[in-house]
Amino acid sequence: MSPVSNRIEERFRRLREERRKGLVVYIGAGDPDLEATRRLTLALDRAGVDVVELGVPFSDPLADGIVNQLAAQRGLASGTTPPKVLATVAAIRRESEVPVVLYIYFNLLHRVGLANFIRDAAAAGVDGLLVLDLPPEEADEYEGLMRDAGMCPIWLVAPTTPEARVERIARRAKGFIYYVSREGVTGMQASVSTTIADMTARIRRHSDLPIAVGFGISNPEQAREVARHAEAIVVGSAIVHRVATHGQDPAMPDQVGAFAAELARAVAEVSA
């Protein structure tokens, strides 16, 4: 029997009660190695991050820009595999209850076996999956397995998503809806998208789930601006870039955690 709610749902419930906005941070699992991933996740938790997305490295990450592509390459080079990522999540769970989402491509689930992977991910302490290349129209089996495991299937909405599809995604999502605020791939940007206010309003016509906005948020000023229109923001490439810069330094988790704390403070300035 699946639990009534999981860590993602509980975190957003608490944020809503406290009238606070959330911070979701993406890192590449295994970059530069899985012990660094464990230590960095704990540092992000201490810094005030509300949800950690772990990118499971894949050889053909089509949704990712160069910063996250290189992180995936470093993860593969360090010997990171899906089972090792789950073992790392289990190790994180011995010290932290921070919600964890795996950012993953469907081929990796298919190779292990969909039911096996979802079962093992839930047992390790994963709270949700964001499967980049699985269309919701083809996800009935996946969603049933996720529901039984008590995990949240996180779905993406883009600026080009038609209204009917926004409605379909909104009906199927759990935890939060991830609004990809730019067309194309992940990456740092000099300015935030101008579509955010309109698109978050469109999504809210179909769902009362929290909306997390990502793709291109690179600094505290942008984080503060985007947080005015959403329940949470997602920062990936700006974090991954700092991991790449400081990855071989034993102090890397604290250095990256300090930047995440700046983002958390910026988001905290925007009341819900």
Q: Please give the positions annotated as active site.
A: 53, 64
Diameter of the chain measured on Cα atoms: 49
Q: Report DSSP letters for 184-206, one per residue.
A: SS----SS--SSHHHHHHHHHTT
- DSSP H helices in the chain: 7-17, 34-47, 66-77, 82-93, 106-112, 114-124, 140-149, 163-172, 196-204, 220-227, 237-246, 252-268
Structure tokens at 240: 């991954």
CA dist., res. 119 & res. 145, Å (int): 8
The strand order across the sheet containing 51-55 reads 152-153, 128-131, 100-104, 51-55, 22-28, 232-235, 211-214, 177-180, 155-157
